[in-house]
Amino acid sequence: MSENTPQPPADPTLASQPGSSPGEPPAPESIEKRFALEQEQVQRVIRIVTPFISVLIAMLIGSIIILSSGKDPAAAFLAMFDGAFGGPRQVGETLLRATPLIFTGLAVAYGFRAGLFNIGAEGQLFMGGLAAAYVGYQLAGMPWVIAAPGALVAAALAGAAWAFLPALMKAKIGAHEVITTMMFSYIGRYFVSWVVNGPFRAPGQIPQTPEIPPESRLPRLSELLTFIEPNRAHFGIILGIIAAVVVWWILKYTVMGFEARAVGFNPSAAENGGISFASTTVKSLCTSGALAGLSGAVEVMGLHYRLFDQFSSGFGFTGIAVALLAKNNPIGVIAAAILFGALSAGSGTMQLQADVSTKVISVIQGIIIFLVGAELIVTWAVGRVRARKGALNAG
Amino acid sequence: MLAEIFTPELFASAVRLATPIALAAVGASICERSGIVNIAMEGLMLVSAFFGIVAALFAPSWGVPESLAIWVGVLAAVISSVVFAALHAWASINLRADQVISGTAINILALGTTGFLMETIFGHPGTTESVKRMQPLLTLPTGGDSFLGTVWHWIDVVLLSYTPIVYLGIFLAIFLTWALYRTRWGLRLRALGEHPRAADTVGVKVLRGRWVAVLLSGAMAGLAGANLTLEQVGSFTENMTNGRGFIALAANIFGRWVPGGAYLASLLFGFADALQLRLQLFSAQIQIPGQFFRMLPYLLTVLVLAGVVGRAVSPAALGKPYKEKG
């Protein structure tokens, strides 16, 4: 969203206030121009460093929270770092947890680029996981070149299908996608709960689907590259990186991506330019849903090999934080997902060693969204710079 | 079976279940009439539900008499919600941030904060200890088995059996509808959401007016959270609001941004919820899995939006940041 809503250019009246300082040197215009240029540069610099500063501030506030609960923040973050990057097994765990976040991050980011807020990625993820578990199970006995891609395609289609009705409602009658995708998210979760408890339940005490056969699984990286120490990271991370590059390419070089960005930037201008708002909205939200569906698929095919009620711990919602931190840049999504993957992988060690609740992670996430997504630092810092320069010029 | 389903208790439970949604929906209508989208209702309800329980549980140890502890809880619920709403107001009014993003941040922050404090204070995730729930305002004698007795039973259960915040919700919906259309404050509030520039030109303080509206919606969400934990459930469970804040936003749209309309729309959702709970009792006879019943309120929300939204016109300046002149 950030790239779709550019800051207004620096307001020269605020800056130099020519009337208030009669003794100024002549040619106030050139000063104004120079000032506006400087403002733009300042804004650009602030924009680039914003994500980094935001993460730092969020960590700082997190530290204060940990401190006020009577625990040692330094020990907590050290334990977290150790749990996320302390060795091959830990790095594997970080990549494992980053994998679904790359897909949900891409899903939310693609929506944002088209001016759509897909807050219901969680539901599309569940439907994608269901499709992967079902098709992966049914394709038992097929060669893996058919089974695994088959399950992935099914998951993408299921995710897209789950986004289709909200997309249609947005395009045709203007129903806000934040409410509709959220409602579909709940409906999807109850649907999956029914499926794993009823028609597609494996025999046994626990409500879950039967295991998918090896040919529709994603192999572990340490099985492919035997020189790596065994860890749980799987081929899904490679798929995630490929998906990020593909999404980047779609946005930059295809008509579909151009139309999505145009509608996201200014729907009525795009409409005047001959781009249909309705069809672009439907295409974009369904693409977003397909990416979220793939997120469910990689969890089922690479980690659990089956579907159960609680198989996602809010990846759809963390995807919002990932997309915002990445400023909706598909390549940035990879880095942001790895950061949140590391937080998640390290939080267990943190709880074990420093006795700090893993929930502190979602507090940090919320603060990051607030600071980056709402562009608080940018507006605040630019306001400060402007006020100082204004005072300088006036005085 | 129908007589077993459509009892006075069903309608009473509809009103009770509608109340948290309705309070939030009425709050949302005030907030959105001022031009600010408040998607944070869900998070505000969650925060207030949590702090309400915490205050009610610990008030006796602070020297508050047992009988007042629950009211301390209500107060804490409202204050905590207003504090979080102030974050949204500051970001979306003063810093002119994207209101949907700011609201989402508060929702996630609320989920994290309540979960973290839950484990820090109570030492475990999941559900807190219980408090003694708020009692109904009136306890009236029953009327016996005669026809008049049955009529009295219906009146008693459907109209007179509720806890204080339920009545407060009905009063606020009526009062705020009156205030919105019959007072100077209401006229100005509506102007803020339709044409803030014009309001500013004639001297209405746009930013201050919007702050009041956002904080008011925070207080309403606080009452909603208090109703949920202190009157209905008696304890707090993580993420217990379960989408009610979002349903409230849909109810507000269905009610056309009028507090009274928002309340009536919420009754529809409350009825759907009460009906699905009741039908679950008969699931052995009906042969439909429970999950499908639980989908009902969410399905209804989608249907309502599909049927109504095209014709509902939102306040013209909704979601648009405003910069005061001078």
**Contact check, Cβ <8 Å, A169/B115:** no
Does the beta carbon of A57 lie under 8 angstroms from any beta carbon of chain B? no
Q: Which range among A96-110, A165-179, B251-265 has the greatest average pLDDT?
A: A96-110
All residues of chain B having their beta carbon less than 8 Å from the beta carbon of residue A321 are 108
Interface of A with B in 186-215 (CB under 8 A): 186-187, 190-191, 193-194, 197-198
Q: Which candidate from A173, A193, A363 shows the least CB-CB separation from B109?
A: A363
Contact assignment for A380 to B106 by CB distance below 8 Å: no
Q: Which amino acid is at B191?
A: A
- The arithmetic mean of pLDDT across residues A362-366, rounded, is 86
Q: What is the mean predicted confidence (pLDDT) over A67-96?
A: 90
What residues in B contact A363, CB-CB < 8 Å? 109, 112-113, 116
**Taking 50 as the threshold, does the pLDDT of residue A147 lie above it?**
yes
Torsions phi, psi of A342, nearest 5? -65, -45
pTM, two decimal places = 0.85
Residues counted in chain A: 395
More confident residue, A378 or A318: A318
Which of the residue ranges A20-29, B120-129, B187-196, B276-285 would you say has the lowest mean pLDDT? A20-29
Question: Which residue's entry shows tokens 């993580």?
Answer: B238
Q: What pLDDT, on a 0 to 100 scale, did the predictor assign at position B289?
A: 82
Half-sphere exposure of B187 (CA within 13 A, CB side): 6
Helices A236-253 and A88-113 cross at an angle (nearest 10°) of 30
Residue of chain B whose Cα is closest to the Cα of A69: B120
Distance from the first to the final alpha carbon of chain A: 38
The chain-wide mean pLDDT, for chain A, equals 85
Q: What is the pLDDT of residue A393?
A: 62
Over residues B65-93, mean pLDDT: 94
Q: How far is A218 from chain B (nearest CA, A)?
A: 31
Q: Is A384 on the interface with B (CB under 8 A)?
A: no
Identify how many contiguous H helices and E strands chain A contains and give both numbers. 16, 0
Check residue A389 and give its pLDDT.
Answer: 66
Mean pLDDT over A32-61 rounds to 80
User: What is the helix (H) or strand (E) element at residue B39, kind and residue range?
Assistant: none
Contact across the interface for A183 and B298, Cβ inside 8 Å: yes
Query: Smallest Cβ distance to A374: which of B97, B298, B299?
Result: B97
pLDDT at A167: 94
How does the average pLDDT of chain B come out, rounded?
Answer: 89
Give the model confidence (pLDDT) of A209-262 as tens digits: 888 888 888 888 888 887 878 888 888 999 999 999 999 999 999 999 999 999
pLDDT band at A361 (very low <50, low <70, confident <90, very high): confident
Instruction: Report the gap between the CA of A56 and the closest CA in chain B (Å).
Output: 17
Least confident of A288-297, B192-201, B282-291: B282-291
Selection from A349, A378, A358, A281 nearest residue A318 by Cα: A358
A31-45, A176-190, B271-285: which is most confident:
A176-190
Q: Note whether A312 contacts B: Cβ–Cβ < 8 A.
A: no
pLDDT at B141: 80
Query: Residue A214 and residue B191: Cα distance in Å, rounded?
Result: 64
